[in-house]
Structure 1
Amino acid sequence: MHMVIYALVEASTENEALAAGKTVFNRLVGSESHSCAVFDYFVTFDEEDTSVAGKARWGELPTAVPVDSDDGQDLLERGWQATEEEFERNLDRVKEAIDELSDEEIMRNEDLARHAFHQVGAYDGPTVFLYNEYANGIRHREQLDRVLEESEILWIVPADVHF
């Protein structure tokens, strides 16, 4: 499956931001020796030679834009809204499992209950859409606000990832 995720990185120029974003995405696909693969691969929106990912799948998105620009705010809102929606969806599944299933049914992963528990607690992967420059998932609003406040010149870099 494909999804668009976003890296929030400090940079002075669009090229620096794109390079920093690619570093984040490389960590998330396990390209660096000390990283563990969360996604299978990524395509940034500067790439023209793919027919199944990036622009070919999602249309035109900025390659990298300052967070405080209109486009940056739009991307940030998309990423944060997707994070909240996915969290709420999985949390509802967890609550339903607790109300309706026995402990043994949950242990057997009836109705994918354990999967929902795992997704609610995930630090990265398909339920997390925003990442800081260290490839750490941004999971709650206070964490996002801290990243936004601590940076001088913050850019947002989108990428299409496959998982």
Structure 2
Amino acid sequence: MHMVIYALVAASTEDDALAAGTTVFDGLVGGGVHTKAVFDYYVTFDEEGTTVAGQTRWGDLPVAAPVDSEDGQALLERGWTATEKAFQRHLERAKEALEEYDDEAIMRDQDLVRHTFHQLGAYRGSSIALYDEHGNGIRHREQLDRRLEASGECWIVPADVHY
């Protein structure tokens, strides 16, 4: 499966933002010394010639954009909306599972219900679309607001990931 994720990074130019975003994405695919891969691979939107990812799949997204720009605001909204939708979907499924299944059925992972709980509590991965410059998933609005209020110019860098 593919999805677009976004890195929020401090940078002064598009090139610096892309470099910082690439570092985040490298970590999320296991490129860091102390990181576990949560995605299989990524493609940034400056890469041309891909046949199944990036621009081919999602259209012409900016390579990077200042968060306070029109493009940046559009990317930020896409990322936050995706995170909220994933959270609501997993939360609703978890609530239904607690009503529908007894403890043993949940322990057996009937209908992949434990996977739902895992996704609901995830800090990184397919339930999270926004990441800070350290590769930490942004899971709630206050966390996002703190990152946006941090000093320095904030850029957003999208990438198509496979999981």
Q: TM-score, normalised by structure 2?
A: 0.98
Query: How many residues are aligned here?
Result: 163
Q: In the alignment, does 2:7 pair up with 1:20?
A: no
Report what 2:6 is aligned to: 6
1:1-163 mapped onto 2 (5 Å cutoff): 1-163=1-163
Query: What per-residue deviation string (whole Å, max 9, x for no partner) do you get for residues 132-151 of structure 1?
Result: 00000000000000000013
Unaligned runs of 5+ in 1: none
Q: CA offset at residue 60 of structure 1? A: 0.3
Q: CA offset at residue 59 of structure 1? A: 0.8
Q: CA offset at residue 31 of structure 1? A: 1.4
Query: What SS class does the counterpart of residue 156 from structure 2 fall into?
Result: strand
CA RMSD of the aligned region, Å?
0.7
| Larger displacement relative to structure 2 (81-90 or 31-40) | 31-40
Q: After the TM superposition, list the runs of 4 or more consecutive aligned residues in structure 1 that deviate by more than 3 angstroms.
A: none
Question: What is the alpha-carbon distance in structure 2 between the residues aligned to residue 140 and residue 151 of structure 1?
Answer: 20
Amino acid at match of 1:159: A
Amino acid at match of 2:140: H
Q: CA offset at residue 111 of structure 1? A: 1.7
Unaligned runs of 5+ in 2: none
Report percent identity of matched pairs: 68
